[in-house]
Amino acid sequence: MSELTIRDMEQDEDFAAWFSELLEQEEDSSGWSSALDERYLILSNEIGDWIGGLRFWLRGGVAHLVDVVVLPQERHRGHAHRLLSAFEQRAIESGAHLAEFWTDDPRSEGLLAALGWRRIFVREGYIGQRTWQLMEKTLTPS
């Protein structure tokens, strides 16, 4: 038997594609797969410079918002609202029925609540020993 090795892999290496393909082959008889479909939405200005973005993944009908960020000098112009709206639309188009987002930023909770999200869980001393809230929104096609 040959020597086995476990090592870290960078995100941009071929292993991620190989691993995703292997997960897709593991679908159960109902068609559910644990494969993760990670996506990005990019907000750019009129000359194409990136001014913000959003990262999310889809799995089993759930769209999990991971990060939303806008350059400091571009904030308070509705860009986060635009990104969140686009995220919800893309999630619905991809078949998601639920969106969720973990946040430790109280400002996020207010923004999301204004857009129809609700807090469903609070976890004290979670990541970084901080208090985190799980926000969710039921997604319905328009």
- Residue 12's pLDDT is 62
Q: 128 near 104, Cβ under 8 Å?
A: yes
Burial of 80 (0-12, 13-18, 19+ CB in 10 A): buried
Beta strand 132-138 with 50-59 is: unpaired
Token pair 């999301």: residue = 112
| Spans of all domains in the chain | 15-20+34-138
What does each of the 142 residues of the chain score in pLDDT, given as a tens digit?
578 667 776 666 677 677 767 767 776 666 655 667 788 999 999 999 999 999 999 988 999 999 999 999 999 999 999 999 999 999 999 999 999 999 998 888 888 998 999 999 999 999 999 999 999 999 998 7
Structure token pair of residue 10: 């960078």
- Residue 100's pLDDT is 97
Q: Give the integer Cα–Cα distance in Å for 75 and 132.
A: 23
DSSP 56: E
- Residue 33's pLDDT is 59
Written out in words, the top-level CATH class of the domain with range 15-20+34-138 is alpha beta
Q: CA dihedral defined by 83, 86, 92, 96, rounded to 10 degrees?
A: -20
- Residue 70's pLDDT is 94
- Residue 141's pLDDT is 85
